[in-house]
């Protein structure tokens, strides 16, 4: 085997590892009965920039994956909340069809796993984001709830801009919203059915 062919095989294997595709994805897998706060929409989006930008909670290269190749895990269900100020304590809370909330170090009964909890994780100082993804290849049918909550501003100045990237099957969605202290402004949540 030539050294060039060996390098090509390494690149292909590396790219496959970055994509972390798990099993055959049902192209019809899509959220139904989406319930969002007033004035919000869950548009299917991507920004065709040609390359994936890391830690922006967006599918930049329109391949259906959010922040792939950036050192965070992906699954056929994925939720990524990103904000700019690492002093803020923002919580991404994803509840599965059984009512279990995804936690760090422990998958829910439906297979959702939370990769990091900011600001406790040291990586949050460089990339303040939380990531929840499905460990298995097939999501359980039923109702899911996704909430993004501002727990503490720390030294951040409100309003705090948050970007939420969502992957369901081969589709990616994106939301941007502001969070501020207060009963009606500190959380944004939505629900959907698979």
120 domain-assigned: yes
Number of domains in the chain: 1
**Residue 20 falls within a domain, yes or no?**
no
* Residue 60 pLDDT: 85
| DSSP state, residue 186 | S
Residue 119: domain span? 29-193
Q: Please state, as a whole number, how many other Cβ atoms lie within 10 Å of the Cβ of residue 153.
A: 19
- Give pTM, 2 decimals: 0.81
Is residue 12 a part of any domain in this protein?
no
The CA distances from residue 43 to 167, 176, 182, in Å, are: 12, 11, 27
What are the tokens at 189? 């949540």
Sign of CA dihedral 144, 66, 81, 71: positive
- Which of 77, 74, 81, 80 has the alpha carbon at shortest distance from 16? 74
Is position 181 within any domain? yes
Q: What is the pLDDT of residue 32?
A: 82
Domain assignment present for 105: yes
User: Does residue 16 lie within any of the structural domains?
Assistant: no
pLDDT at residue 39 in the model: 67
What is the predicted pLDDT for the residue at 51?
86
| pLDDT at residue 156, as a whole number | 94
pLDDT digits (tens), the chain, 194 positions: 433 333 333 333 333 333 343 444 455 688 888 878 776 766 666 667 778 888 898 888 888 888 888 888 999 999 999 998 999 999 999 999 999 999 998 999 999 999 999 988 898 888 899 999 999 889 999 999 999 999 999 999 999 999 999 999 988 888 899 999 998 999 999 999 99
- For residues 165 and 53, is the Cβ–Cβ distance under 8 A? no
43 assigned to some structural domain = yes
17, part of any domain: no
Provide CB contacts within 8 A for 134, sequence distance 6+.
Answer: 22, 75, 76, 77, 78, 110, 111, 112, 113
Helix (H) or strand (E) holding 19, with range, is helix 3-19
What per-residue confidence (pLDDT) applies to 11? 32
Q: Name the DSSP letter for residue 44.
A: B
| Predicted pLDDT of residue 46 | 66
């Amino acid at each position: 085997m030539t050294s060039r062919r060996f390098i090509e095989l390494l690149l292909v294997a590396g790219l496959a590892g970055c994509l972390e595709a798990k099993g055959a994805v049902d192209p019809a897998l899509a959220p139904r009965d989406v319930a969002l706060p007033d004035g919000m929409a869950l548009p299917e989006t991507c920004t065709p920039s040609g390359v994936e930008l890391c830690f922006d909670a967006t599918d930049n290269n329109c391949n259906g994956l959010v922040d792939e190749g950036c050192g965070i895990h992906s699954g056929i269900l994925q939720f990524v909340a990103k904000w700019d100020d690492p002093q803020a304590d923002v919580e991404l809370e994803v509840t599965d069809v059984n009512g279990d909330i995804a936690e760090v170090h422990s998958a829910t009964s439906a297979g959702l796993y939370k990769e990091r909890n900011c600001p406790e994780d040291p990586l949050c100082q460089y990339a303040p984001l939380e990531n929840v993804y499905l460990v298995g290849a097939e999501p359980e049918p039923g109702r899911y709830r996704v909430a993004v909550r501002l727990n503490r501003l720390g030294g951040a100045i409100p309003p705090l801009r948050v970007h939420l990237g969502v992957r369901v099957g081969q589709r990616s969605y994106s939301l941007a919203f502001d969070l501020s202290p207060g009963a009606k402004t500190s959380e944004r949540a939505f629900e959907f059915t698979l």
